[in-house]
């Protein structure tokens, strides 16, 4: 079995969840930018384009030997964009509807997770250490992000709750998961995947609440501005993680934070070489 570095996937914490929500929110906006206005290429064309981009970013992720924030979050972003385009194609162009699309994708995700568990590969993201396990992770991510779009649309449009109220409902669900993490014996892996799936519809309805016209229950900001702001925020967050990760890597490898230059000022002893 081909081994990969344990550090190819990130540690799960506040920064992880923050970037995940921003990336999935941007995925909704970016997909709409291409599939709908202003480019209007359509859901099918958008899905094909983004599937190619996803395949390219995933190939890079699978080939590297350690965690690289820019690469990892690029794959997360492309799964979010692809998921939005595929969900919209299924629900609107193919005519499944929000409820039908959500039901199909929920079933598919359950089958993926059951199959993953049957392989004996760990489902704890921080412990995934094989190429097979990583491929299963990305498969589940792609399906969950596609499901997230359908479930978010079903909640806000299908049930008529609206974008902002849907965002409040999903935020409340995330808080319940957080409380369960600290105050119940429920498996951390189970809670992780529950939260992981919910971040996608949360991002979808939050994006729609900002982007959509006021007449449709949004703030009317528009796709272009929303995408631009989200992209800027994502770049800053990933850039920060990339910088801090590099500093930690240098420290763990015994490289001084200054990039290897020793301080030879009077009264300072240069580190001995071993």
Domain-embedded: residue 18: yes
Query: Does residue 257 belong to any structural domain of this protein?
Result: no
Residue 274 within any structural domain of the chain: no
Residue 270 lies in a domain: no
Structure tokens at 41: 């290429």
11 part of a folded domain? yes
Residue 7 has pLDDT above 80, yes or no: no
Question: Per the domain annotation, does 229 fall within a domain?
Answer: yes
Specify if 189 maps to a domain: yes
* pLDDT-above-90 percentage for the chain: 69
Total count of domains within the chain = 1
Rounded distance between C-alpha atoms, residue 136 and residue 115, angstroms: 9
In a domain, 268, yes or no: no
Predicted confidence (pLDDT) per residue in 40-94, tens digit: 899 999 999 999 999 999 999 999 988 999 999 999 999 999 999 999 999 999 9
Q: Tell me if 108 sits within 8 A of 143, measured CB to CB.
A: yes
Give the predicted TM-score (pTM) of the model.
0.86
- The domain in which residue 158 lies consists of 6-252
CA 14-17-20 angle, to 5 degrees, is: 145
């Amino acid at each position: 079995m081909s081994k990969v570095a344990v550090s190819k996937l990130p540690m799960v914490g506040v920064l992880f969840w923050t970037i995940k929500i921003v990336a999935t929110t941007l995925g909704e906006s970016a997909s709409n930018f291409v599939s709908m206005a202003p480019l209007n290429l359509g859901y099918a064309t958008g899905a094909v384009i983004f599937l190619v981009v996803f395949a390219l970013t995933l190939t890079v992720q699978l080939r590297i030997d350690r965690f690289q924030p820019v690469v990892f979050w690029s794959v997360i972003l492309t799964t979010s964009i692809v998921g939005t385009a595929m969900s919209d194609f299924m629900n609107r162009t193919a005519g499944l509807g929000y409820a039908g699309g959500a039901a199909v994708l929920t079933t598919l995700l359950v089958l993926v997770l059951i199959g993953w568990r049957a392989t004996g590969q760990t489902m704890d993201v921080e412990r995934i250490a094989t190429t097979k396990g990583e491929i299963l992770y990305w498969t589940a991510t792609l399906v969950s992000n596609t499901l997230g779009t359908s479930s978010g649309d079903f909640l806000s449009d299908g049930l008529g709750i609206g974008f902002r109220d849907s965002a409040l409902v999903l935020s409340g669900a995330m808080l319940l998961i957080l409380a369960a993490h600290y105050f119940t014996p429920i498996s951390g892996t189970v809670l992780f995947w529950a939260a992981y799936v919910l971040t996608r519809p949360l991002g979808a309805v939050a994006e729609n609440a900002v982007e959509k016209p006021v007449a449709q229950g949004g703030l009317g900001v528009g796709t272009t501005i929303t995408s631009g702001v989200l992209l800027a925020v994502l770049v800053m967050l990933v850039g920060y993680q990339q910088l801090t990760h590099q500093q930690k890597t240098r420290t763990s490898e015994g490289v001084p934070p200054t990039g290897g230059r020793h301080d030879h000022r009077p009264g300072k002893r240069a580190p001995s070489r071993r």
